[in-house]
Amino acid sequence: MKKILIDEEFCKGCGLCAEACPKKLLKIGRKLNKQGYPLVEIDEAGQEKCISCALCARICPDVAIKVNKSDD
């Protein structure tokens, strides 16, 4: 199960989440959303390394990130 879920409709590619992540798992990618903003990316290996601290979700000004804290 993915730990970090990014709502592509709301992400504006500001990069605050990438800066806040203590494991540096997030980055601004090349894919654009419908509004033309670059989306934040995390690869599958990053999902495994995520510690579910939710700093990325807390700092996101557009509430575009949700963090699943369970391992189910």
pLDDT tens for 7-51 read: 999 999 999 999 999 999 999 999 999 999 999 999 878 899 999
The pTM score is 0.88
Query: Is there a domain that residue 49 lies in?
Result: yes
The DSSP call for residue 61 is T
Per-residue tokens: 5 = 């879920």
Query: Is there a domain that residue 40 lies in?
Result: yes
Query: Is there a domain that residue 22 lies in?
Result: yes
Please tell me the total count of domains within the chain: 1
Query: Is there a domain that residue 72 lies in?
Result: no
User: What is the domain extent for residue 8?
Assistant: 4-67
Question: For the domain that residue 34 is a member of, what is the CATH number?
Answer: 3.30.70.3270
Residue-by-residue DSSP string for 26-44 = -EEEEEE-TTSPEEEE--H
Query: Is there a domain that residue 24 lies in?
Result: yes
Query: Is there a domain that residue 39 lies in?
Result: yes
